A = this chain, B = another copy of it.
């Protein structure tokens, strides 16, 4: 399974004819991570055929309904489907208080555990880590406590060059040691350096999700140089005052963050129902940062 990002919904609070509330599924290193879970998430996932067999962690950026109203339906359906693996929801503590009574009432016999990892949105810290992936919070500026998430692959081991194995008659049992950085010593005492025996692996991928937030330069050092930045772009320039009032960003502000943080690619999302033509957002962002795309619902982006 290659790294990919499926956009379930990229609208903002009021759903429109074509935009659903926020939700994504990131697949990274053979695992799936859900990011936000607006109403209808399970339905859209079902419609576009997102398999959920490796989805054990859900990250909720903040407790506005368009980012979490889909949770109860999803968790309930998983119960009916006989899921047995635990799921961990990473969110602010209030979510546990709000969701637990619903789970008790609507899903009293859930065959799996819902664990809550109560996160602090005020500082950047690692909230999830396994052998190959690390997730940290990104404090955002919004009307309620809110954070984005930085998903980082851990470095992969370098690739052994098959021809070298043959040339130096290297036993397979030595390969793991070489991959971890060791040299190889031949029977005649010659030392073949690690670098000669291996090709470096692809650089670890880094994906930053930042929704919802006002323009916020404190983000810059946290997301410096990421491969992909999903940044909210609720409004076009025309509604800059609304962005300020509601602590959202314009597409141009998102692009400015992307540029200043030297990210490789920017994806705009979280579009207001008031913006009729997303092309306007794209145009305004591209004036600042060329490598920008518009998120599209039900699309799978290879990373």
Contact = CB atoms under 8 A, between A and B. Distances in A.
A118 interface: no
Interface in A159-208: none
A73 B65 contact: yes
A17 interface: yes
Contact of A72 (B17, B65, B81): B65
A122 interface: no
How many residues of A sit at the interface, in one of the four size bands?
Answer: 20 to 34
6 contacts: A15-B42, A20-B43, A39-B39, A39-B43, A65-B76, A69-B73
A46 B20 CA distance: 10
Contacts of A77: 13-15
A242 to B, nearest CB: 13
A31 B277 CA distance: 34
A80 B17 contact: no
Of the candidates A16, A43, A73, A80, the one having the most CB atoms from chain B within 10 angstroms of its own CB is: A43
B15 A46 contact: yes
Contact of A73 (B39, B106, B107): B39
A155 interface: no
A1 B14 CA distance: 27
A77 B20 CA distance: 12
A302 interface: no
A269 interface: no
Of the candidates A17, A39, A46, A76, the one having the most CB atoms from chain B within 10 angstroms of its own CB is: A39
A238 interface: no
Contact of A46 (B17, B43, B76, B107): B17
A110 to B, nearest CB: 12
Contact of A14 (B20, B49, B80): B80
A300 interface: no
A70 B43 CA distance: 12
Contacts of A65: 72-73, 76, 106-107
A63 B73 CA distance: 13
Given A65-B72, A69-B73, 11 more contacts: A13-B80, A15-B42, A15-B46, A17-B47, A20-B43, A39-B40, A39-B70, A65-B73, A65-B107, A69-B72, A94-B105
A93 interface: no
A245 interface: no
A299 interface: no
A72 B67 CA distance: 13
Contacts of A21: 73
A102 B106 contact: no
A39 B98 CA distance: 17
A46 B40 CA distance: 13
A64 interface: yes
A222 to B, nearest CB: 28
